[in-house]
A and B are shown apart, each in its own frame.
Chain A
């Protein structure tokens, strides 16, 4: 059913720390690797070893340069920005689906595509401003991040491994997984502490995933420049000749 389930208490999602992400693409590669062999079947590429390989990835790591003006002059930050499905609370990609293939799970809020119902009309990809969905030309159906639903509940895995492949792979622990519906969960507290934000809230799709902004730099450039101090002179404490000189020059 592509009508949305009633709002659930549990909202599983990711929190991505833009301060510690180093842009190594390990999350993207681990995601591709897991989802090429996971429960949802292969994720084949077109021309994989040719000149122009082309295929579906659920996670894409952008890199941006952010120019800041500080009192000490211009400064440029490099911010690496992993982009994947945000598992929105009110996702338009689900409600536009004509077949019921696209759905949001009532129990944990994960947004999924039922491969057997998808007709490949791509309307859901058009409805998503975050670019979370890519069609597989090889399979003829829409593909997207599953929040590794085949890992996080997988009882054949060690409990420590029951988290999304991207989170497990991140070498700088810039990716956090948890329940964002529970305000006391470590991940929710992290968002509160660091001022985590949702992407493009103006669309009102209420993304569950949050991004933690880069911390302020510690190079001191943001501190205000010390203003030249006013020198004070107590004329009465000067010796006589200088007192006369000061008076004459001040005239």
Chain B
């Protein structure tokens, strides 16, 4: 399949955005316990001060998540033939995963903007309103990422997408990029993480748990691609029952939409090198750069965000570009 950059940026940016928002929601569940944990050490005024700092951190993270998802969704509109009609895509949620994704992505903005408004208006980060918003936010983020993955995994003619690794992959990479953003945001100089985990643990978790998991999943996915059968012209035409089929003449002399869109071979030629580049960026960037934060401070986790996202862009480019569409068998390619 031809890798369209608007769709690659859509899935990577919105994945990172929803991953980040999911983790913000999850971290807010810990906020009351964390702040009351300081109770014996600090006065009530100090606790309020801590809550306000945590609130400001969460506000920044919510805004960053919202910006990432909006950028992703706008990017996806760029690939439409009739972008002004995009609103129609919210109507067919009964049958279409693309429509469900649209509905879920917009619904997620209710808790995002609700929480942001509530906190900006001075709402307490320890209150049950925040807790409720956080739960709704986390659930809707997970649902949106699930719908995004199902858009692709539901397409049977593309074997590389109609594959058991695809849904877990979208979840894991959204979680990975979201966790990179969380690590960078929650360690900013002004920030107070609402979770009671020390910074080092956050880094260790990203570099030695999530990133290797991403690599293991991707290697398993690539192995399953190698094993999946490749239908040829004989299978596509049903003429295999008569003998060995080869293309005698193409139906047209020039390219058409199908050969242009679905006959993309560049990626399969360079797949091995690009896979290595993706894995190196995704795994080695957090492992090697986080330790530098003791020297360069908060620049290190931001550099990891940049390189990790770049790795996921390469991974996503391959996800599209390596996939072979069944129709291309008619052309004997």
Contact = CB atoms under 8 A, between A and B. Distances in A.
Contacts of B197: none
A129 to B, nearest CB: 4
B240 to A, nearest CB: 9
Contact of B82 (A92, A118, A130, A211): A118
B81 A64 contact: no
Interface in B73-131: 79-83, 85-86, 88-92, 94-99, 102
B327 interface: yes
Interface of B: 1, 79-83, 85-86, 88-92, 94-99, 102, 151, 154-158, 231, 233, 235-239, 241-252, 254-258, 261-262, 325-327, 330-331
B158 A54 contact: no
A1 B325 CA distance: 26
Nearest to B241: A213
A6 to B, nearest CB: 14
A63 B238 contact: no
A150 interface: no
Given A62-B330, A121-B98, A99 B85 contact: yes
B245 A65 contact: yes
Contacts of B243: 66-69, 77
Interface in A61-104: 61-69, 77-79, 81, 83, 92, 94-101
A210 to B, nearest CB: 10
A56 B257 contact: yes
Interface stretch (A134-142, A164-172, A224-232, A240-248): A134-142
Nearest to B92: A2
A153 interface: no
A211 B238 contact: yes
B60 to A, nearest CB: 33
A197 interface: yes
Contact of B251 (A1, A52, A62, A119): A62
Q: Which of B86, B255, B258 has the most CB of A within 10 A?
A: B258
